[in-house]
Amino acid sequence: MNYQSINPNDGKLLKSFEHLSSAQLEKALANAESCFQTWKHTSYAERAAILAKAAALMHAHVDDFAKLATLEMGKRIDEARGEVKFSADILAYYAKNAQAFLAPTQLHPKVGEAHMESSPIGVLFCVEPWNFPYYQLARVAGPQLMAGNVLVVKHAGCVPQCAIAFEKLLIDAGAPVGAYTNLLISHAQSEHVIDDPRIKGVALTGSVAAGRSIAARAGQNLKKSSMELGGSDAFIVLEDADLEKTIPWAVWGRMYNGGQTCCAAKRFIVLDSIADKFLAKFQAALQALKPGDPMDEKTTHGPLSTEAALVQLLKQVDSAVAHGARLLMGGKRMERPGAFMETTILADIKPDNPAFRDEFFGPVVSFFRVKDEAAAIALANDSDFGLGGSVWTQDVARGKRVAGAVDTGMMFVNNIDWSDAELPFGGIKYSGYGRELGNMGIQEFVNKKLVRTGHFDAPA
């Protein structure tokens, strides 16, 4: 598969790119390794100046970056602008905080002195997805470049222009050649990169299948890896939820980014006493969304990222219905050009239905009624995934209690606002391992070295 920009709003090919040759790939890896030997010795201040400049450039050219994302993967333009600003904020956040995050930590042994110090490990290989074509890059580039590592990055095949634009951003900001390198490479070439002894760590955001493959390859090479994979997040509505506030979050939680978000609300678990009222309001709100060109700010329902993504989602919905699920609304392709799907609600999904376990990456709601709080928690936990989730109640203490009982990497009470550079992001189970963002994100690929000093005699 070559790298292709295809506008999902109309299906037209914008541009295509060839894979790197073996010689070009070798040159990129050699440049990265050479750069690391210098970059690891630069000061935090020198690194921060480059990252802060990159952040400023992103803020100064929000529309240019945003329009590219909308053209390549169909993100609605206002959401694309938000992603660009957040990506810039992540770069600025690490430029400001990295030195403090990685400062030596004093320990207190019984005899002598000891501390932990942090140092970069080398060239990292990052495999990133299309759904947030800048944010996914910023959340590895910000912390890891500031930590003193360098990156070679394979971005998704459908967003090559975004990938190239992000590399150019860092070069324009003053990053040396080799500090951040975009690789237009095949899956087979990716395996070669993981095997290369110059690569010291591997980070992936993507599907469970991709995670299994990449993590296994990294493991065979005894290389540290982090995996941010799929999700099937529960949206738990308790009987005392304020629906005037909950419904807008339900719509946003499922439909943000066309529903193509790992930590989107996907399984709506609603207590029976409020289920009919919630469903009526939720359905009406979803039906009010207006499909259209994602470049048009009046559009509230954009296309899926690719034709293949649409076909896959339609197959999943058809399979769910064939296995007994009830289709409450939608379920079909929209009769218009581009990769548009109707907003869809599936109910009566039994545990033997593939839809009970699957992740729906698009505008498909899985709706469940439960009798009480305990049943809601049990259903939320009956998932192969464990990325995020939310609980909605006017009793905050109760919300925190439910949040504590759900097995995920992230839980939100009366919001789903994960977009803060200070908040660690990641999951458990099939949702992967490791954390990005916050203080934890910069710790993933550094050597935590113990240094102990003392003048004391050897044991007899």
- The per-residue pLDDT for range 77-132, each reduced to its tens digit, is 999 999 999 999 999 999 999 999 999 999 999 999 999 999 999 999 999 999 99
Does residue 335 belong to any structural domain of this protein? yes
Instruction: Check: CB of residue 329 under 8 Å from CB of residue 283.
Output: yes
Q: What is the pTM of this model?
A: 0.98
Cα 12 off chain centre by: 27
Question: Quick check: is 228 catalytic?
Answer: yes
Tally the domains of the chain: 2
- DSSP symbol at 18: P
Same domain flag for 219 and 239: no
- Kindly list the distances between the CA atom of residue 45 and the CA atoms of 42, 64, 121, 191, 205, in Å, as whole numbers in the listed order: 8, 28, 19, 35, 29
- In degrees, rounded to 5, the angle at the alpha carbon of residue 113 between the alpha carbons of residues 108 and 115 is 70
| Predicted local confidence at residue 125, as pLDDT | 99
pLDDT surpassing 90 at residue 1: no
Total Cβ atoms within 10 A of residue 201: 22
Same domain flag for 49 and 123: yes
CATH number at residue 325: 3.40.309.10
- Kindly list the distances between the CA atom of residue 374 and the CA atoms of 49, 51, 155, 384, in Å, as whole numbers in the listed order: 51, 47, 41, 19
**Of 35, 126, 162, 262, which one is the catalytic site residue?**
262
Same domain flag for 197 and 321: no
Range of 121's domain? 3-229+431-451
Same domain flag for 167 and 56: yes
Alpha carbons within 13 A on the beta-carbon side of 402: 29
Does residue 174 belong to any structural domain of this protein? yes
- In degrees, rounded to 5, the angle at the alpha carbon of residue 195 between the alpha carbons of residues 192 and 200 is 125
Same domain flag for 151 and 258: no
| Predicted local confidence at residue 2, as pLDDT | 82
In which band, very low, low, confident or very high, does the pLDDT at 419 lie, cut at 50, 70 and 90? confident
**For residue range 320-347, what is the model confidence (pLDDT) as tens digits?**
999 999 999 999 999 999 999 999 999 9
**Of 33, 83, 128, 228, which one is the catalytic site residue?**
228
Does residue 185 belong to any structural domain of this protein? yes
